[in-house]
């Protein structure tokens, strides 16, 4: 029996020619494993007779491995098997021939079966990502979870727990969201209208006052208390609870407005206010500091990198090489999102592409954020900087890693760049902040005003139907590759 064993994602996997498609490969005969230039992946070929344990180890270059359908039409799937420590993959190959690219991790044809092991890592970097992500969650997760839980209880209490606690379909129907905030926006509408280009954006001025004046005022009060009386965990909890708001809606609106501001290079305000550099960047460079936003992540990392590569492998926040129905893989993904959030991988990617000017601007955003942390550590105390200044960054890393993991949960194997599959559209969602639920539309029209998203969904509805969008029922595994 001849077998091919090679490292893919997490383990050495044997492909038996008796069970799978014929593999066309170029083999370089050698007594020992040899390195092959111009190849990101090497494969070792094991050739042995039945019942024999001896084999000749060879090394080949995985430049292009083309698999063909089995001669028997009854064979509907081929199985890639390994021992108890290996990964078991199921690969549907009878439908059409596939091409496995030189970087196996981007191949969309391998899907994870129900019997796969929990830990599906093979490279040291993947294991390191998992352990770093697990460390972040173990250290920061309980604190973030307690604040998020408090915000959920706050929202449920606001509506008198009508419908239940969470996932009840009655979210955001209490006094704060149906009475107070609509009243506030109404009484300030005429005054705020002079500042914004779109009348639907008048609420932003209230957000700037609330998140850019009131939240910093609370922050300064906590700094004064910590300076005179030392760190108080109870005060820190209350501050963070008030900061993110009921159902984390303060957090959601700040990040959404940072997002909108990062995409809108022409500014969101009327003249002469739009000429103010401070006002045009108020969310990313001021308000965002209190919510863990590292300046430049949205304006450069997100807008230029993420939207250019649309979740493919050069996207530094890609989810496409990991199974999104695996919590263990999400833990490893937290590390990737952290490196993006602090702009490390973004800077590296821009430099590798020769865009040193963008890399420098991105670096300045990171430096600005680090100096902000250092300043408060020296002015008040390291504990204040850790629990008041740095904590929102770790909070955002965890929450936004989960959000991005969800926004890009599926992949069309035959068309990785298919926006209609690789991004979600949530119809009639209960918590739809500035129409962000139309994420497909956002990727197709990044600079479109949020009020136009429903109309754009309608105009592109035929695209949803013809581009193989899945809606409801049991999701085929191929979409979770």
SS (H, E, C) 193-227: HCCECCHHHCHHHHHHHHHHHHHHHHHHHHHHHHH
- The answer to whether the beta carbons of residues 247 and 149 sit under 8 Å apart is no
pLDDT of residue 321: 83
62 and 209 in a common domain: no
pTM: 0.75
Element (H, E) at 7: strand 2-8
pLDDT of residue 312: 84
Whose CA is closest to 9, among 271, 235, 321, 294? 321
pLDDT of residue 470: 54
348 and 201 in a common domain: yes
Band (pLDDT 50/70/90 cuts) for residue 469 is: low
Asked whether residue 425 is domain-assigned, the answer is no
Which residue pairs, CB below 8 angstroms and at least 24 apart, start in 301-305? 301/340, 301/343, 301/346, 301/362, 302/259, 302/262, 303/262, 303/263, 303/446, 304/350, 304/358, 305/346, 305/349, 305/350
pLDDT of residue 11: 33
Band (pLDDT 50/70/90 cuts) for residue 436 is: very high
Asked whether residue 444 is domain-assigned, the answer is no
44 and 118 in a common domain: yes
Asked whether residue 241 is domain-assigned, the answer is yes
Distances (CA, A) of 380 to 117, 285, 322: 48, 22, 42
Residue 285, CA atoms < 13 Å, CB-side half-sphere: 16
The whole-angstrom distance between residue 120's C-alpha and the CA centroid of its chain comes to 19
Other C-beta atoms within 10 Å of 174: how many? 21
299 and 271 in a common domain: yes
Other C-beta atoms within 10 Å of 164: how many? 10
Domain boundaries, position 289: 127-409
Mean per-residue pLDDT over the chain, rounded: 78
Instruction: State how far the Cα of 374 lies from the Cα of 377, in Å rounded to an integer.
Output: 5
Section 467-481 average pLDDT: 47
- The answer to whether the beta carbons of residues 401 and 334 sit under 8 Å apart is yes
Asked whether residue 166 is domain-assigned, the answer is yes
282 and 363 in a common domain: yes
Number of domains in the chain: 2
Q: What percent of the chain has pLDDT over 90?
A: 57
pLDDT of residue 286: 97
Instruction: State how far the Cα of 69 lies from the Cα of 112, in Å rounded to an integer.
Output: 20
- Residue-wise pLDDT for 222-249, tens only, equals 999 999 999 999 999 999 999 999 999 9
354 and 309 in a common domain: yes
pLDDT of residue 464: 81
Listed residues 385, 409, 433: the one ending a domain:
409
Asked whether residue 282 is domain-assigned, the answer is yes
66 and 203 in a common domain: no
Asked whether residue 479 is domain-assigned, the answer is no
3-state secondary structure of 429: coil
- Residue-wise pLDDT for 170-198, tens only, equals 999 999 999 999 999 999 999 999 999 99
158 and 58 in a common domain: no
Q: Decide if pLDDT at 279 tops 80.
A: yes
Instruction: State how far the Cα of 57 lies from the Cα of 43, in Å rounded to an integer.
Output: 10
Listed residues 122, 144, 175: the one ending a domain:
122
Asked whether residue 443 is domain-assigned, the answer is no
371 and 261 in a common domain: yes
Q: Are strands 56-61 and 65-67 parallel, antiparallel or unpaired?
A: unpaired
- Residue-wise pLDDT for 106-150, tens only, equals 344 444 444 555 666 778 888 999 999 999 999 999 999 999 999
Asked whether residue 27 is domain-assigned, the answer is yes
- The answer to whether the beta carbons of residues 337 and 402 sit under 8 Å apart is no
157 and 104 in a common domain: no
Listed residues 409, 425, 453: the one ending a domain:
409
Q: Decide if pLDDT at 35 tops 60.
A: no
Query: Burial letters for 409-435: b for 16+ Cβ neighbours within 10 Å, e otherwise?
Result: bbbbbeebebbbbbbebeeeeeeebbb
Instruction: Extract the tokens encoding 162.
Output: 């009508």
372 and 235 in a common domain: yes
Q: Decide if pLDDT at 23 tops 90.
A: no
- The answer to whether the beta carbons of residues 243 and 388 sit under 8 Å apart is no
Section 440-451 average pLDDT: 91
Band (pLDDT 50/70/90 cuts) for residue 412 is: confident
385 and 283 in a common domain: yes
């Amino acid at each position: 029996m001849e077998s091919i064993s090679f490292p893919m994602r997490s383990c050495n996997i044997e492909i038996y020619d008796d069970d799978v498609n014929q593999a066309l490969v170029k083999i370089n005969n050698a007594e020992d494993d040899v390195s092959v230039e111009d190849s990101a992946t090497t494969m070792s070929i094991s050739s042995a007779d039945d019942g024999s344990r001896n084999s000749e180890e060879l090394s080949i270059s995985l430049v292009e491995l083309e698999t063909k359908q089995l001669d028997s039409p009854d064979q509907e799937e081929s199985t890639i098997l390994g021992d108890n420590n290996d990964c078991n993959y199921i690969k549907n190959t009878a439908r059409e021939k596939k091409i496995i690219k030189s970087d196996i991790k981007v191949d969309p044809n391998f899907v994870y079966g129900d019997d796969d092991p929990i830990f599906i890592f093979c490279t040291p970097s993947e294991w390191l990502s998992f352990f770093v992500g697990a460390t972040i969650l173990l250290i920061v997760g309980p604190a973030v979870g307690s604040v998020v839980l408090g915000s959920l209880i706050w929202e449920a209490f606001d509506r008198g727990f009508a419908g239940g606690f969470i996932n009840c379909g009655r979210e955001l129907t209490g006094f704060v969201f149906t009475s107070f905030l609509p009243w506030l926006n109404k009484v300030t509408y005429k005054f705020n209208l002079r500042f914004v280009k779109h009348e639907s954006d008048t609420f932003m001025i209230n957000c700037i006052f609330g998140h850019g004046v009131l939240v910093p005022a609370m922050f300064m009060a906590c700094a004064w208390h910590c300076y005179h009386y030392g760190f108080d965990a109870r005060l820190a909890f209350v501050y963070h609870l008030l900061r993110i708001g009921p159902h984390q809606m303060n957090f959601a609106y700040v990040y959404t407005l940072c997002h909108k501001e990062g995409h809108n290079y022409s500014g969101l305000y009327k003249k002469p206010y739009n000429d103010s550099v401070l006002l045009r960047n108020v969310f990313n460079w001021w308000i965002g500091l209190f919510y863990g936003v590292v300046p430049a992540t949205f304006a450069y990392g997100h807008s230029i990198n993420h939207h250019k590569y649309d979740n493919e492998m050069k996207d530094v926040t890609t989810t496409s090489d990991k199974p999104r129905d695996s919590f263990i893989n999400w833990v490893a993904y937290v590390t990737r999102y952290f490196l993006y959030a602090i702009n490390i991988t973004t800077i590296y990617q821009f430099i590798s592409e020769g865009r040193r000017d963008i890399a420098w601007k991105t670096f300045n955003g990171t430096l600005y954020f680090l100096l902000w942390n250092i300043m408060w550590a020296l002015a008040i105390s390291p504990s204040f900087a850790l629990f008041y200044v740095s904590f929102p960054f770790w909070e955002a890393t965890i929450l936004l890693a989960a959000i991005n993991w969800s926004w890009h949960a599926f992949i069309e194997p035959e068309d990785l760049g298919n926006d209609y599959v690789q991004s979600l559209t949530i119809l009639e969602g209960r918590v739809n902040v500035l129409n962000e639920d139309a994420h497909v539309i956002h990727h197709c029209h990044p600079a479109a005003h949020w009020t136009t998203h429903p109309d754009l969904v309608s105009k592109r509805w035929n695209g949803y139907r013809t581009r193989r969008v899945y809606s409801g029922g049991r999701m085929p595994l191929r979409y979770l590759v």
